[in-house]
Amino acid sequence: MAARDAKQTRPAAADRPVFCTVRLEEPVAEKLANRLKADGRAHALFDLWRNLVGQPNAISFLVKPERDSKARFHSCAECGQPFTSAELVLRHFRHEHAAQAVKTVEKAIDPPKGNFQFVARCGLCRALLCPPNYHGFTARLAGHHQDRHDNVPFDEFRARVSNSSFPDEIEAWRKAASVIEELHCAHCDQLLADDREALEHLKSAHADRIAKAEDELLIHAAQVKQLECRDLRRVCTDALDKEKKAPGHFLALLRHALNQKGLQLFRDILGHQFACRYRPRHVSPRDQLTPRQQEMLALAAAPARRGHKPNRHTLRDHFAAQGASEQDVKADVDGLVKLGLLVEFDTGQLDALGPGSHIENKT
């Protein structure tokens, strides 16, 4: 049903073309329909849409690949985070679920040999690097900058590196350099040289255990901000923005959902759509109505005075002068509403079919 009613939106720029369909969540539609049935008044679909479109729990997105494309989506087997490619899932898995991807094994080696009088310390995070006369100093410096402080220009980072001559700190570095960490695959314990080799190994040997392929994705609006994949986040945001600017598609979904749940739909003479429990209809026959009910219909069908139709309060005051009690007026109004001869809008105004009516009795 979603595919039939959906309006599809292609993102302006994306690495992989995808189509996004905005859907109305069934529990929200069911709750709204029950409220309208209990209320009995006629509510404008546009106002209902305006209230729903801002609720994250009311909307979801069905995302599909381009037509006639063999492309598929992939989601993380650990947390369910969706992506447009398996490569992105592997990178996500390596960084976000490191313990399930690789494990580090400490291995003792011979301590560095040499006459080290100083040890360099990072001025940003106070981490010990290595002595300036150590053969791996330049690589260590560049690697630390890339891993920890790549948002700071290298020249500024380098200027803040200081040398410490404290023996305790030199000895602490020597002990730390006497142990290396080896990367091993968490699944098969294979030795890995670096992160790049880890990704290649996971892709070739364990991709089916990490990424799940899916033909389409169902993403709830509340989850869009948590999406790591920029393409998916963009296409969902664009689809929702388009619905907010031109709500025709979402109104069609809302109209269809309420109609399926037994609500009556009609338009006024301006073309505005309304939903209510009772459907407006012509008076037939009038002789079955009491004189007071017929007068109520005449007042409601007459042209509006100063732009306003009567409501329960004005009818109460009008018939109080004739000796009718408030309970009798209320009972008559309720009876006419249930028969579909009076329409009570969410503003409280009452209307009926006639020369001065605002109702066009068409669905």
CATH number for region 278-360: 1.10.10.10
Residue ranges matching CATH 1.10.10.10 in the chain: 278-360
pLDDT of residue 132: 87
As a whole number, mean pLDDT of residues 49-68 equals 86
Q: Averaged over 104-108, what is the pLDDT?
A: 68
Which residue would you say has higher pLDDT here, 81 or 94? 81
pLDDT tops 50 at residue 277? yes
Q: Above 70 in pLDDT, residue 68?
A: no
Is the pLDDT assigned to residue 303 strictly greater than 60? yes
pLDDT of residue 1: 40
What integer is the mean pLDDT of 307-326?
Answer: 90
Alpha-carbon distance values, 134 to 59, 103, 117 (Å): 59, 28, 11
Confidence (pLDDT) at 29: 93
pLDDT of 12 > 70? The answer is no
For strand 119-121 and strand 73-76, is the pairing parallel, antiparallel, or unpaired? unpaired
Lowest mean pLDDT among 99-108, 167-176, 236-245, 273-282: 99-108
What rounded mean pLDDT belongs to the chain? 83
Q: What is the pLDDT of residue 357?
A: 81
Q: Is the confidence at residue 339, as pLDDT, over 70?
A: yes
> Taking residues 323-342, what's their average pLDDT?
92
**Between the ranges 23-27, 87-91, 306-310, 357-361, where is the mean pLDDT highest?**
23-27
pLDDT value at position 257? 93
Q: Contact at 8 Å (CB) between 59 and 240?
A: yes
Note the pLDDT of residue 167: 87
Does position 204 have pLDDT exceeding 50, yes or no?
Answer: yes
Please check the confidence at residue 162 and state whether its pLDDT lies above 50: yes
Q: What is the pLDDT of residue 311?
A: 93
- Mean pLDDT for 47-66 is 88
Nearest in space to 209 (alpha carbons), one of 95, 89, 98, 96:
89
Mean pLDDT of 109-126: 84
| Distances from the Cα of 95 to the Cα of 195, 198, 211, angstroms | 10, 11, 14
Q: What pLDDT, on a 0 to 100 scale, did the predictor assign at position 112?
A: 81
